[in-house]
Amino acid sequence: MLNQLIDIVIYILLAIGVFFNILAGIGLLRFPDVYTRLHAGTKCTTFGSIFLCGSVILYGLRMWILGNVDGSIWVIHTGIALVAILLTNPTGAHALARAAHRSGVKPVGAVIDELENKPTKKSANKMEAKK
Amino acid sequence: MNFFGIPDIYLVILGLLFLSIIMAIIRVIKGPTAPDRIVGLDTINTIVIVSMIIFGLAAGSVIYVDVAIVYAFLSFISTLFIAKYLEGGEF
């Protein structure tokens, strides 16, 4: 009884994760701009992979509690993979957005760009060196 | 259908993830500017990591999860490197 219930929970988690990953693909195709595409391509995949890894962790936990020690390997390794995704994905997105802005890509439909005349760290250092 | 002994529901899930990867590949090919293509590549990397974990669950072997961990860190390093290159700064 409890076994089948956990199976149903695993399938629901898989469905939610796949739904958000497909939303990421659709958003990448439909959005007009680099910055809005970053929203779709990074946030949706991070949120979806939380649920997909959660289903694998639940599978391993059930195996572990029922007495099979191999389940602990599933739980720990998938947890490490989830932490790796959660740490690296937003950092990469931040670096990409900064690189896109500095390489001169403008947001579509933006009226004002407040970062336009703001000196970057390197150019500020050069200005100080000239003085 | 019995495809390498993988249950049907995991085949459906892997197919849907593959559909999402194809949509990202279309963005990589079409993308008007260079940052668009890199955003598509970043999305493809994340979905490949997750589908490796799900394939490991379906095939019943933990080694795919270990490969996914290494792939995550390597793809992060490559994304940071390409972003630095687009920025045009000194390394």
- Taking only the tens place, the pLDDT of each residue in A31-46 is 998 899 999 889 999 9
| Tally of domains within chain A | 1
pLDDT bracket for residue B3 (50, 70, 90): low
DSSP code at position A111 = S
Contact criterion met (CB below 8 Å) for B78 and B62: no
Amino acid letter, A102? R
* Sign of the alpha-carbon torsion through A59, B42, B71, B4: positive
- Best of A20, A21, A98 to substitute, by most chain B Cβ atoms within 10 angstroms, is A21
Contact residues, B window 23-62, toward A, CB-based 8 Å cutoff: 23-24, 26-27, 33-36, 38-40, 42-43, 46-47, 49-50, 53-54, 56-57, 62
Q: What is the pLDDT of residues A47-100, one digit of tens each?
A: 999 999 999 999 999 999 998 888 899 999 999 999 999 999 999 999 999 888
**A73 at the B interface (CB within 8 A)?**
yes
SS3 of B32, please? coil
User: Vertex B84, ends B82 and B89: CA angle to 5°?
Assistant: 140
> Which structural domain range is residue A103 located in?
2-130
A51: closest chain B residue by CA = B50
**A52 at the B interface (CB within 8 A)?**
yes
- Nearest CA to A97 out of B83, B89, B82 is that of B83
Which residues, 6+ apart, have CB-to-CB distance to B31 below 8 Å?
B37, B39, B40
**A95 at the B interface (CB within 8 A)?**
yes
Query: Measured between alpha carbons, how far is A73 from A123 in angstroms, rounded to an integer?
Result: 50
